[in-house]
Amino acid sequence: MRGAELDEHRTALLGYCYRMLGSPFDAEDAVQETLLRAWRNADRFDPGRAPLRGWLFAIATNVCLDALRTARRRARTVDLAPAAEPGAALGVPYPDFDLVFPAPEGLVVPPGGDPAELAVQRDSVRLAFVAALQLLPPRQRAVLILRDVLAWSAAEVAALLSTSVAAVNSALQRARAGLAAPVRAQPVDEGLLRRYVRAFTDNDIDALVEVLHEDATMSMPPLPFWLRGRGPLLRAMSASGACTGASLVRCGRSSFIQYREGLPFAVVVLEALDGKIGHIQTFLQAPRLLEVFSRYADEPAAAPA
């Protein structure tokens, strides 16, 4: 077994571990551990019993389940504290291990392949979906990702988890029921995205009114401060001058690096609600996140200060 053979599966493994763990950094650590274990135990791999993909995903599943036994459940800041009022104190930042972090699609979604399958994979790395996954028990989470996102058969998942097909189907049914309620956010279509970016960078409050959902939220992880409602959002943005002198460099379908005075300032993730911008998540104080997203920027991004 060559290292190149293992690396062929790296992106798919990163996507799986990211959905399981809710952090691109933890996912990268988990995949590194997975490939190291595979390399050390290469003599135990029998291609006659299972393909290399299945063997690697079995190792990655064990790595993730081990990590989740001692980890606290990650969540978005909007799930951890009540909404604030404009002008309220920003609060003490949450530690990184409490929060779900975004991942650039280029890191966790393999390039090429069936368009319908790719659409499912892209949709399943949206922040709202990944946050909702964290509500599920770890084994249910693994079953749902493998069956509904990666389109594994029940028999393949049963073999991976050393359980029965009936147990997999039961876990999948419970996972689907547990996931149904929390996921309201939707992808942002291109037209809406362009209108928001133009309104934001032009500091055009009237145009922002047109693109923001009346129940939109705006958060600034890791700070606990967040707002709900178009009116509070616009008052806060106007008072703080959040749009003044800002520019956005795209890093995926609906994620950006926000620049201020020519320097990378934050990672911004947008999600839609009923055809308008419903969630604005601006990740501050995050040099590691800026570094990861800058690899996938539409134009070169300067190193974070």
Structure token digits, residue 260: 């201020």
Nearest to 256 by CA among 213, 296, 210, 216: 296
Classify 124 as helix, strand or coil.
coil
Calculate ∠ Cα 16-28-155, nearest 5°: 25
Structure tokens at 45: 């791999």
* pLDDT of res. 268: 96
Query: 57 with 146: CB under 8 angstroms?
Result: yes
Cis-peptide into 222, omega within 30 deg: yes
Answer for the pair 182, 132: CB distance below 8 angstroms, yes or no: yes
Tokens of 64: 């993730």
Residue 273 tokens, joined: 């609600």
DSSP string, 76-135: -GGGTS----TT----PPPPGGGB-----HHHHS-SSS-HHHHHHHHHTTSHHHHHHHTT
Residue position matching structure tokens 């459940």: 73
Return the number of other C-beta atoms located less than 10 Å from residue 42's C-beta.
13
User: In what side-by-side order are the strands of the sheet with 246-250?
Assistant: 226-228, 212-219, 276-283, 263-273, 255-260, 246-250
- Give the separation between CA 159 and CA 53, rounded to whole angstroms: 13
Residue 252, pLDDT score: 86
Contact status, residue 14 vs residue 148, Cβ threshold 8 Å: no
Asked if 243 and 282 count as a contact pair (C-beta separation under 8 A), the reply is no
Selection from 34, 4, 31 nearest residue 15 by Cα: 31
Measured between alpha carbons, how far is residue 43 from residues 16, 34, 39, 212 in Å? 25, 15, 9, 56
Q: Tell how strand 226-228 and strand 246-250 pair up.
A: unpaired
Per-residue pLDDT of the chain (305 residues; tens, 9 = 90+): 566 778 889 999 999 999 999 999 999 999 999 999 998 988 888 777 778 899 999 999 999 999 999 889 999 999 999 999 988 999 999 999 999 999 999 999 988 778 888 888 888 999 999 999 999 999 999 999 999 999 999 999 999 999 999 999 999 999 999 886 656 778 899 999 999 999 988 888 899 999 999 999 999 999 999 999 999 999 888 877 666 778 899 998 899 999 988 889 999 999 999 999 999 999 998 999 999 999 998 864 444 43
So what's the pLDDT on residue 183? Answer: 65
CB-CB contact of 212 with 234 (8 Å): yes
Identify the H or E element spanning 196: helix 190-201
Residues near 8 by Cβ (< 8 Å), separated by ≥ 6?
A: none
